[in-house]
Structure 1
Amino acid sequence: MFIFPFALTGVSAWGQQHCVGRYCVTLSERELTAEAGLCVVIPCSFTNADEFKPQHVVWYKCEAAKHSCSETDIIFHSNKNTDKKAQAAFEGRVSRLETDVSQKNCSIIINDLKESDSGSYQLRVTGERNEQQDGFTFSQRVTVSVKGIKQKPTVMIPTLTEGQQATLTCTAPGLCSGSVPEITWTWRGAGGTESYITGNSTDFKTENLMGFTQRHISTLTFKSSAEQHNTTVTCKIRFTGETTTEETSTLKVNYVKEVKITGVTSVREGNVLNLTCSVESFPPAHIVWKKVPSNTNLQTRNTDLHNNTGSATLVTLNVTAENSGQYICMAKHLDKTLTSYVNVTLTWHTKIQNGSGCVLQSDALTCVCISEGFPLPTIKWPLLEDHTQYTLITTVSNHTVNSTVSLTVKKHGNSTVECVSNNGNGEERENLLVQKKHGV
């Protein structure tokens, strides 16, 4: 058996070559770093004297202070028939990248890494020399450092639209051929409560990339809803040895609710019209106010658009009759346009018009009171409270009321008759002048 404590060195793509005579091994000079739950590849190649026929490779892990690892330190032996067993902690976790020893490739992959796998690794090659069983152990070693996992899963989220099926993809970190990890999905709603997404289906697959590398993928399929917008979904990976890593992503769901118009639609003349159009959506809708029938865009003149809120307020000062009528709120969301209509009515104080007055001819008194307003005013005659016999005629035209009262009076000595008009916005009283006419 050969143990080579001294070496000549040369450089190769895999690291530093160390030789004793015609026996050389190439190992990484740098410390190999890896993460728990994943895997590490130890690149290795060797050459030997022509009279030595390699048959098996043996890998050890032992304290760096030991001059040479012992049989109890074996972590891998390519001879399955040997009674020299690997450490139980490494059983089934170590494999060669190349099974044909004649290729002089001694590289191994260690899967399902634990932090306790950190340490010094040494190589031995066994075979025949001059028809005798022999082997050589290289003193040159490679150091592996295993830390806690920092890599996170890769979560791919497509465009989410309310009412449509969506599939999220989670890919476990690492391209290892060890134990298949457990992948779970959880959802955290607006209230912060974690739960599993209802009405969903999950799928899992493993892609074999090369002989010793695999990719583990889980998919989550569900119907998107507005309630899921701005909630979070977490993909959690659990490796052998209770090593876990997770990635949390925020869901952005394209959705739009119905358009809502708020504000007082019945406005007094001279006051302020203030209407707000809003629509809950993502992304925020672009809102435009228009007036029928002119279809004029009121956006720049007298609207206050709250950017990125999906809300626009229409403000008109000193309202007049021309501001009454139908208004349209149009909300543009992605490739969809939603509309809502509102009718604005103008109210004004009642006003008794010119042309109102009374005529007294003999004992017959006729009074006319003409009043305009919106809402339509009502007219009362205080004079009638003392009379039971009279004729009252009321006519309406647009926003004008004409009230005519006729009655017989004896010795009417008043020079005026009071007319009272009220439409809820205010009351107006006017004493109508009595014009006396003498009979023919």
Structure 2
Amino acid sequence: MSSFKSGTLVFIWLTTSFPTFIDALQREKFCQHEGFCVTFNEGEIKAEVGLCAVIPCAFTSLFAPEYIIWYKCEPLEAKCDNSDPIFHSGKNKENIQPEYEGRMSLLNLNMTQKNCSIMINDLKKSDSGWYQLRVEGKETKDAYTYLAKANLSLTGLSQKPSVMIPPLTEGQQVTLTCTAPGLCSGSPPNITWMWRRKGEKDSHIIGNTTALKTENLTAVTQRHVSTLTFNYSADHHNTSITCKVSFTGGITTEETVTLNVT
């Protein structure tokens, strides 16, 4: 079988709750050669730095796929595979672009299902650009590049952590919960707590206990949660608690709440 070098489109889907949205996507199949198609949704995808993006992708081919490869390149380039790949499902990782190493993973490792969906973690501003899919079989001649590209546009982090406060009673132990934005399985964020009386600088609550927990929701999604436990008193009334979340690359976001003793 001769190598095919043609184009179609792939798509990127970004969300913080993958299972909820994936079934609601507008899906469309694009075929430029018989037997070689890709299913995707259209439009530029806007993602936020520090979080993650998923490229949901399904394909058909006339050969048995062995390797899934992703490239990134400029929009005017017809083929991205003139440069080093950013992901290769094979064992040889030597030619992967260093800035993508360890940040990309397939959602499904079973090649027979022809699922090329991939996650990009620890998003950086430099991840903005155009992405292209290539599939290869066992034989050198079995290869197909889908030339049309998906456009990923990165913006600054606007999502904030979620802080949960239970009913507060003076003299009783209380536990506050802070959940980091995103359900990404990349580098765990650093979550810190700060307390502030009105007109004073940040400090720590005396005698507090903190704990960080990572919940595995699926094989590729995680929830990162921090708890702050302390004995509540009148000194804490009308004071502020801030939960600060720091992602890879110095990207931070925070949420501040006011405590009221009942």
Name the TM-score, length of structure 2 as normaliser. 0.89
Q: Structure 2 vs 1, CA of residues 155 and 82 (structure 1 numbering), >3 Å: closer, same or farther?
A: closer
Match of 1:102, SS? helix
Q: Structure 2 vs 1, CA of residues 25 and 187 (structure 1 numbering), >3 Å: closer, same or farther?
A: same
Q: Structure 2 vs 1, CA of residues 143 and 215 (structure 1 numbering), >3 Å: closer, same or farther?
A: same
Q: Structure 2 vs 1, CA of residues 6 and 33 (structure 1 numbering), >3 Å: closer, same or farther?
A: closer
Per the TM alignment, residue 5 of structure 1 is displaced from its structure 2 partner at its CA by 3.9
Provide the rounded CA distance (Å) in 1 between the counterparts of 2:164 and 2:8: 52
Q: Which has the higher strand share?
A: 1
1:136 equivalent to 2:149? Answer no
Percent identity, aligned pairs only, is: 56
Provide the rounded CA distance (Å) in 1 between the counterparts of 2:164 and 2:140: 58
Q: 2:73 touches 2:129 (CA, 8 Å); kept in 1? A: yes
* Paired residues for 1:259-338 under 5 Å: none
Q: Which of 75, 85, 93 pairs up with 1:74?
A: 85
Q: Which residue of 2 aligns with 1:33?
A: 46
Provide the rounded CA distance (Å) in 1 between the counterparts of 2:261 and 2:198: 14
Q: Which amino acid aligns with 1:2?
A: F
Per the TM alignment, residue 24 of structure 1 is displaced from its structure 2 partner at its CA by 0.4
Q: Structure 2 vs 1, CA of residues 72 and 6 (structure 1 numbering), >3 Å: closer, same or farther?
A: closer
Per the TM alignment, residue 6 of structure 1 is displaced from its structure 2 partner at its CA by 6.9
Q: 2:8 touches 2:146 (CA, 8 Å); kept in 1? A: no
Q: Which residue of 2 aligns with 1:227?
A: 235
Q: Which amino acid aligns with 2:228?
A: L
Q: 2:67 touches 2:135 (CA, 8 Å); kept in 1? A: yes
Q: Structure 2 vs 1, CA of residues 247 and 82 (structure 1 numbering), >3 Å: closer, same or farther?
A: closer
Provide the rounded CA distance (Å) in 1 between the counterparts of 2:27 and 2:229: 46
Provide the rounded CA distance (Å) in 2 between the counterparts of 1:204 and 1:195: 19
Per the TM alignment, residue 26 of structure 1 is displaced from its structure 2 partner at its CA by 1.5
Match of 1:116, SS? helix
* Paired residues for 1:198-209 under 5 Å: 198-209=206-217
1:192 equivalent to 2:215? Answer no
Q: Which residue of 2 aligns with 1:119?
A: 129
Match of 1:194, SS? coil
* Paired residues for 1:341-356 under 5 Å: none
1:87 equivalent to 2:94? Answer no
Q: Deviations over 1:80-132 (max 9, x none)?
A: 1365x21111110000000111111000000000111111100000004xx55
1:62 equivalent to 2:73? Answer yes
- What are the ranges of 5 or more consecutive residues in structure 1 without an aligned counterpart? 255-440
Match of 2:64, SS? strand
Provide the rounded CA distance (Å) in 1 between the counterparts of 2:203 and 2:25: 50
1:174 equivalent to 2:176? Answer no
Q: How many residues align?
A: 245
- What are the ranges of 5 or more consecutive residues in structure 2 without an aligned counterpart? 10-23
Per the TM alignment, residue 140 of structure 1 is displaced from its structure 2 partner at its CA by 2.1
